[in-house]
Structure 1
Amino acid sequence: MKKNFVKLIAIVCLSTSLFAFAVNTKKRVDPERDKLLLELLTFVIQKGHYNPAVIDDNFSKGVYKDYIAALDPSKRFFLQSDINEFSKYELELDDQLNNKDLIFFNLTYDRLMFRMEESKKIFKDILSTPFDYKIEEDFDVNYDKAAYAKNTAELKDRWRKQIKISTLSALTDKQKVEEAEKIKNPNYVSKSDLDLEKETRESSLKSLNESFGFMNDLKREDWFALYINSIMSQFDPHTSYFAPEEKERFDVSMSGKFEGIGAQLQKKNNYVEVSELIFGGPAWRGKQLEKGDLIIKVAQSNGVPEDVVGMRLSDVIKKIKGQKGSEVRLTVKKADGTIQVVPIIRDIVEIEETYVKSSLVEKNGLKYGIIYLPKFYKDLENIEGDGRDAAKDIAIEVDRLKKADVNGIVLDVRDDGGGSLATVVDIAGLFIKDGPIVQVKSGDKKEILYDTDKKIEWDGPLVIMVNEFSASASEILAAAIQDYKRGIIVGSKQTYGKGTVQRVLDLNQYVQNSTLGDLGALKLTIQKFYRIDGGSTQLEGVRSDVVMPDRYEYLKMRERDEAHAMSWDKIDAAPYTVWNDNAKFDQAIANSRKRISENFQFNLIEENAKWIDSRSNDNTYSLNIDKFRVEQNEIDAIAKKYQPIVDYKNDLNFTSLPYELEGMNIDPSLKEKRERWHESLSKDIYVEEALNVLDDLQPRLIVKHNMPEFKKGKLVKS
């Protein structure tokens, strides 16, 4: 795989066309930057994509459809006249792309900015007077099928109904709270419906102002990135352009660390507020910055403080972040109104929740370990190789669990969207002796990625937990464990179904002497991966050995539901040897299926899933308060039937490993986080059934009376 990626880079780097991009860039202005970006992206994607789409009229129609939908998903900005004007370009976007023409983008961007300004006046005017909830009218929230407003009057009415459905829902909720308070305390003085109605409008106005404030913070280049990604998505759902800030966020998500002060920030009116301090980070260690502080000014070391009130959140974050060892000085307003200057030396900050964590649990006199892997992370920037790596961390957790004398391990990759391909190969290798883990195909060439380390970190009973959001690397791991019959896969009917490999290419490396600033990066699909049995996980995902009912099973949220998803196919199997200690698998699977079929809770989850699916087409709501209440009461009555799903609690007690218990003594936030996790595990019927499967996989000790081993006082494992 690494070899193939090197070839891709070579193809791109050696192209004379590409280096033409370096000519005469000193005097370019932003439109020229956009044209350069389009040219660069088009060239790289055509040369490097696994199966590049043909850029023709059909391609153009796809870009047009996706882009307009992304600009105005609820159809509350554009009029039909705008769409009529835009549609003239529907079949021309392929030509505009080839010619680096920005006419369509400029037209839509300028029109959107104009319509957004109009909309601010519209919603403020609507929310200035009370709603009449007694009139007979309804609203269809299926925006995909809705037509665009024919004129401004129709658009205003759509805004009115969109806001009204929101405030009506909030009003009826508030009325229920007031009624409950009155029942609880007869002396309680209830708020009037007029007061409650006013509160809902004020809350809605605040929410819309914040939403538009966020959109106002977006720059033209952010909207251009949206246009570019409408182009990129035509190739496949996972090829995308990263603007510079997005690339930085992607790197943080992959490595789980960044250089900065270790504080989570959020916008609060015109201020930036400290919402949380990350344990172990510079701000936490300094003990001067506190949750709730409002940042007023930012200075670099002894530099002049810069006022950041009213500044975009992303721009403030840029000023606060910086290289390890450098100093930043924050002028903050404390909760008591005092102003302080807080100096902080920047350092490496690790986001603890990105990383692997494990727990112990006892069941039927046996001890088990649960390892949760949120992402197949790997510090790709650390060339020394000593950065955080999920494979190394899993190995450490397995070793800790072995020292705790566990009898089995559950590896939970639910909601794990994937990550590093090299990392998943290493993780799978922890549970087998050696052999192929995954096959990777680029064009006509196939490569098999092997675990070459004969050491097995864990050879005992193993269960892998998956769900419909387990994707990519999670699916490689589950597929390999399943093909080797090394462990049992439990969870949703099938996983997400992403069987493609992406690489992130820094676009700046291909442009010489540019003064146009950071061009961002391209996440490009360059390969497909296959199970060692030859089947692709693309679209099909990995089918669980034990299927557990899922509330969201019937909703369209997997790869197969994406418009431009690549197809499924199959290649030759790789030679591999099935795990020889799986005699109990069939019985364990049969036992689990029987338990699930007879379990009230699982049957209720299945019934709830079908009800949720049946409601997915109920898109029309009455805006008459009496009818709305009746509709909501009917829904609430049905929903009460499914309340036991939320209220469920198993009888298991989950505890942290000794090393973590020590850490909790100095980090109260870690203790709080683990307690929350353990509480969620104690309410998780899926984890409970995974442990039941581990129970069924246990080698039971039996006495064979007529055997010499018994006479010698020995026991024989069945």
Structure 2
Amino acid sequence: MRFKLNVIIPAFAFFVLFSSYTPKDKVLDKNEVLLKLIMQSLNQGHYQSQIIDNDFSTKVFNHYLQQIDGSKKYLTSKDIEKLGAFKTEIDEQINKGTYEFFKLSEKLMSKRIQEAGVYADEILSKPFDFSKDESIEFDDTKRSYAEGEEAVKEVWRKFLKYRTLFILEDLISKEDEKAKTDKSFKRTPFEELEKKARESVRKSQKEQQNGMAKIDESDWLSIYLNSITTIYDPHTAYFPPEDKENFDIAMSGQLEGIGARLSSKGGYIVVAEIVPGSACWRQGKLKAGDKILKVGQGSEEPIDVTDMRADHAVKYIRGKKGTEVRLTVQQVDGNIITIPIIRDIVVLEETYAKSAVINNQGYINLPKFYADFTGNGGRDCSDDVKNEIEKLKAEGVEGIILDLRNNGGGSLQDVVEMAGLFIKEGPIVQVKAKVGKPRVYSDTDENIYYDGPLVVMVNTYSASASEILAAAMQDYGRAVIVGGSPTTFGKGTVQRAFDLDGFVSEAYNEIKPLGALKLTLQKFYRIDGGATQLKGVTPDVILPDTWSYLNVGEKDQEFPIPWDEIGPLQYDQWGNSVTTQLGGIQQKSAERIRKNEIFKLIDENAKRYKIQQEDTKYPLSIEKYQAKISRINEESRKYDDMLQKLDDMQVSFLKADISKINADEVTKEKMERWKQNLEKDVYINEAIAILDDIK
């Protein structure tokens, strides 16, 4: 039975603000109304209330400074001292609906941005001395704010020198490549290359400066208000009433045209997530954690987007379907590569469940949980997975792998129904609002659509709905959870966006539009009572993974809602529970992993990633910089080709799918490419071995 899952609104009533007033009573200050409305919504509606006191004020102060000048290139220590006078007074200003701290910060930042433009222009007018032995520290927690004007100039000198060095080294490398293939090639003098690199930085710096200069009060206000909402949790956010296009970018965080979600961190634009079915997802090279350094349109000279606002950088990355964008990114290990991506829309078909038979075992890949809430005949992932199971059973498979790796979640109703495909009946998840008892979502269908051996694959980027399904299968002892990371992502909360205009009387239309507020309203709990929030799901079998040693997941966000537990539910373990077999399964898997050379390389690479992530200081002499980049590239190349076709992986398409696959060349090519990737997947290879171990 299909049910429609509605977001449960906590037992509080949003009211029409100032409805008792008439326009003649008072001329309202829009920003005062906005602040009071946001705070009232947060305190009455958010899952976890906050005490607005000096501690809250200090958190807002520190987070806001990180947002406006996280790279410590603008504000001086004296500026911080002036702002610090308000460090424990922001709570009082919030309660009064006033903005003294904010107004001072805006004034100081506007002034410093203008000064930085002058400094940059002056610094970039002269050649840099790249023979000088000096370095730049990129971990801002290891640096202090500059003492005064000369110290700020020095910060900018090093920063601009590094950006010039980055481009210069690339120019030299290209000349080296040409010289290898063309003996008659005449190298460009170093001074000319240096000038070209410096002028490139100067051009992009002017563009960034112009963009920074256009930041108005509403932009700064949005940053300030989000510094308040973030203290509640990282998913609660205020969205200002800008034009529809920019609002959609803010709501989805999606880079239109390539399909990636981004965040800003330490002056860099960082890829937070790859959208399933998108252009970069299909291209395969852009990864979560990559820093976007430059953006180029086809063969045109790329634009440096370092230190650029995310919404400004988006304008360069977006574009018409079919056009090429070239992203120069710094990978987590420090390796710098250029990735060409042909812009496209998200292809929904790429996100749908699909199957294969591997070594007589069934394999189902589910990139996301999708559902049709419109009733217009769209597809639901639970129905699709059910169909794939039936096709696999017809093939006579001995077991099934359900692959939820990199699945960021989606439709909760389909999680419940999908879990019901593998058990007789029973509770699947508990959903708790701010007040009241948890609501239990259960499978009420007594039919079991598949009762054979089952493995569920997860990794660091399996989140939300994926974690609920994995947790339920683990609690029932129905499946072995196999993960390429110590835990899944750990996002166990539910959000809903509210249009703030709806809470203000029509008598005050002159202060509209006010924007929107996304609130965290609910929390997920496993049937054993533990939250999936923060801790995620710990796999039964943990495999070496590239991200094993890195800080990734909900626990590494700022101000996450903590883990807790509620009462467990009554449920019956699966008749042939894998829980009793886990000791033997884990022992056999550990022995295979110990002997597997690919897993050894993956673990080595993961440790290298961790070391490189902590290596935050870069030399500014060209000789030492080239040596460092060369070392990073050389180390990276060792792991480039570690995933090769595995001899014991026999992958075949389902008989029921052959005619559809061969219907056109595009589909055939896509499926062949997918098959080739499966044949290289050492994680699936181990999952198949684990299926064989289940009795």
Distance 1:157 1:686, change over 3 A: same
Give 1:617 shift. 3.3
| Aligned-partner Cα distance in 2 for 1:239–1:525 | 6
- Whether contact under 8 Å (1:253, 1:354) holds in the other structure is no
Shift of residue 251, structure 1, vs aligned partner: 7.1
Letter in 1 for 2:352: V
Q: Report Cα offsets for 1:167-224 as digits up to 9, x if no partner.
A: 3244334434433443344344344433433343344345445545655676543432
From 353, 368, 389, the equivalent of 2:362 is 368
- The offset of 1:51, in angstroms, is 2.2
Corresponding residue of 2:501? 508
Deviations 1:458-497 (A, max 9, x none): 3333222212222222211111111112222111111122
Question: Secondary structure of the residue that 1:440 maps to in structure 2?
Answer: strand
Task: Give the superposition deviation at 1:144.
Answer: 2.1
Question: 1:230-309 counterparts in 2 under 5 A?
Answer: 230-243=227-240, 245=244, 248-249=248-249
What SS does the corresponding residue of 1:12 show, helix, strand or coil? coil
Cα separation, 1, equivalents of 2:439 and 2:599 = 41
Aligned ranges 1:530-609 → 2 under 5 Å:
530-582=525-577, 587-609=584-606
Give 1:85 deviation, angstroms.
2.1
Distance 1:226 1:357, change over 3 A: farther
Q: Distance in 2 between matches of 1:353 and 1:131?
A: 52
* Aligned residue number for residue 453 of structure 1: 445
Partner residue in 2 for 1:466: 458
Structure 1 residue matching 2:13: 3-state secondary structure: helix
Q: Which amino acid aligns with 1:607?
A: E
Q: What is the number of residues matched between the two proteins?
A: 617
Identify the residue that residue 290 of structure 2 maps to in structure 1.
none
Q: Percent identity?
A: 37
- Aligned residue number for residue 333 of structure 2: none
Secondary structure of residue in 1 paired with 2:131: coil
AA aligned to 2:525 is: Y
- Of 633-642 and 600-609, more deviation after overlay is shown by 633-642
Q: Deviations over 1:254-292 (max 9, x none)?
A: 9x9xxxxx97799xxxxxxxxxxx99xxxxxxxxxxx99
User: Following TM superposition, by how much is the alpha carbon of 1:57 offset from its aligned partner in structure 2, in angstroms?
Assistant: 0.8
Asked if 2 retains the 8 angstrom alpha-carbon contact of 1:28 and 1:516, the reply is no
> Deviation string for 1:533-565 (max 9, x for gaps)?
222223322111111112222222232333422
Q: Which residue of 2 aligns with 1:67?
A: 64
Residue identity opposite 2:151 in structure 1? E
CA distance, structure 1, for counterparts of residue 213 and residue 658 of structure 2? 44
Cα deviation for residue 667 of structure 1 reads: 8.1
- Give the 3 Å change call, closer, same or farther, for CA 66–585 of structure 1 in structure 2: same
Equivalent of 1:688 in 676, 681, 685 = 685
Which of 119, 124, 129 matches 1:127?
124
1:440 aligns with 2:431: yes
- Residue type at the aligned position of 1:148: Y
Correspondences of 1:84-483 after superposition (within 5 Å): 84-209=81-206, 211-212=208-209, 215=212, 220-243=217-240, 245=244, 248-249=248-249, 351-352=347-348, 355-363=351-359, 366-374=360-368, 376-378=369-371, 382=374, 384=375, 386-387=377-378, 389-399=380-390, 401-402=392-393, 406-442=397-433, 443=435, 445-483=437-475
Q: Aligned-pair distance for 1:146?
A: 1.3
Cα distance change, pair 4–408 in 1 and its aligned pair in 2 (3 A) = closer
Q: Specify whether residues 425 and 215 from structure 1 end up closer, same or farther in structure 2 by C-alpha distance, changes over 3 A only.
A: farther
CA RMSD of the aligned region, Å?
4.2
Q: Give yes or no for contact 1:480–1:531 (8 Å, CA) kept in 2.
A: yes
- 2:308 matched residue in structure 1: none
Provide the C-alpha distance between the structure 1 equivalents of 2:443 and 2:474, rounded to a whole number of angstroms: 16
Mapping for residues 31-42 of structure 1, pairs under 5 Å: 32-42=29-39
8 Å contact from structure 1 (residues 21, 36) kept in 2: no
Q: Relative to 1, partners in 2 of residues 1:42 and 1:631: Cα closer, same or farther, differing over 3 Å? A: same
Q: Which runs of 5+ in 1 are unaligned?
A: 257-261, 267-277, 280-290, 293-310, 321-329, 336-348, 700-718
Give the alignment partner of residue 17 of structure 2, picking from 19, 22, 26. 19
Task: Work out whether residues 60 and 91 of structure 1, in 8 Å CA contact, stay in contact via their aligned partners in 2.
Answer: yes
Q: For 2:572, give the aligned amino acid.
A: T
**C-alpha distance in structure 2 between counterparts of 1:253 and 1:378, whole Å:** 21
- After TM superposition, the score normalised by the length of structure 2 is 0.77
Deviations for 1:649-686, whole angstroms, at most 9, x for unmatched residues? Answer: 43447676666974786684x66665665554444322
Contact persistence 2:525–2:566 (CA under 8 A): yes
Q: 1:373-408: per-residue Cα shift (whole Å, max 9, x none)?
A: 23x34566x3x4755544344445445555565544
Partner residue in 2 for 1:496? 489
User: Is residue 25–residue 516 contact of structure 1 (8 Å, CA) maintained in 2?
Assistant: no
Give the 5 Å matches for 1:591-670. Answer: 591-645=588-642, 648-651=644-647, 652=649, 662=660, 668=666
Report if the CA contact (8 A) 2:361-2:399 is conserved.
Answer: yes
Q: Which has the higher contact order (CA 8 A, sep 6+)?
A: 2
1:81 aligns with 2:78: yes
Q: How big is each residue's C-alpha offset from its partner over 1:291-323, in whole Å with a ceiling of 9 and x where there is no partner?
A: 99xxxxxxxxxxxxxxxxxx98999999x9xxx
Structure 2 unaligned regions, length at least 5: 261-276, 279-296, 299-310, 325-344
**Alpha carbons of structure 1 residues 265 and 468: separation in structure 2 relative to 1, 3 Å:** closer
In 1, are the aligned partners of 2:64 and 2:227 still within 8 Å (CA)? yes
Q: What secondary structure, in the 3-state scheme, does the structure 2 residue paired with 1:144 have?
A: helix
Change over 3 Å in CA distance of 1:211–1:665 after alignment to 2: farther
Paired AA for residue 540 in structure 1: K
Deviations 1:543-590 (A, max 9, x none): 111111122222222323334223322222211122224466654443
Q: Residues 590-626 of structure 1, C-alpha deviation per residue, up to 9 Å, x if partnerless?
A: 3322211221221222233233323433322221222
The 1-side partners of 2:217 and 2:380 are apart by: 37
Q: Is contact 2:455–2:691 with CA below 8 Å preserved after alignment?
A: yes
Stretch moving more, 431-440 or 455-464? 455-464
Corresponding letter in the other structure for 2:145: Y
Aligned residue in 1 for 2:329: none
Tell me: CA distance 1:149–1:317, structure 2 relative to 1, closer, same or farther (3 Å).
closer
* Offset, 1:56: 0.6
Kindly provide the amino acid, as one letter, of the partner of residue 530 in structure 1: Y
Q: Report how far residue 499 of structure 1 moved.
A: 2.9
Q: For residue 452 of structure 1, what is the amino acid of its counterpart?
A: T
Task: Indicate if the aligned counterparts of 2:361 and 2:688 stay in contact, CA closer than 8 A.
Answer: no
| Distance (whole Å) between structure 2 residues aligned to residue 638 and residue 200 of structure 1 | 27
* Contact 2:476–2:577, Cα closer than 8 Å, also in 1: no
Q: Which moved more, 1:168-177 or 1:423-432?
A: 168-177
Aligned-residue offset at 1:637: 4.9
Aligned counterpart in structure 1 of residue 51 of structure 2, from 54, 57, 61: 54
Q: Are the equivalent residues in 1 in contact too, given 2:540–2:582 (CA < 8 A)?
A: no
Q: CA deviation at 1:46?
A: 1.0
Q: CA deviation at 1:532?
A: 1.1
Q: CA deviation at 1:434?
A: 1.5
| Cα distance in structure 2, aligned partners of 1:482 and 1:145 | 42
Tell me the CA shift for residue 355 of structure 1.
2.8
Q: Secondary structure at the match of 1:445?
A: coil
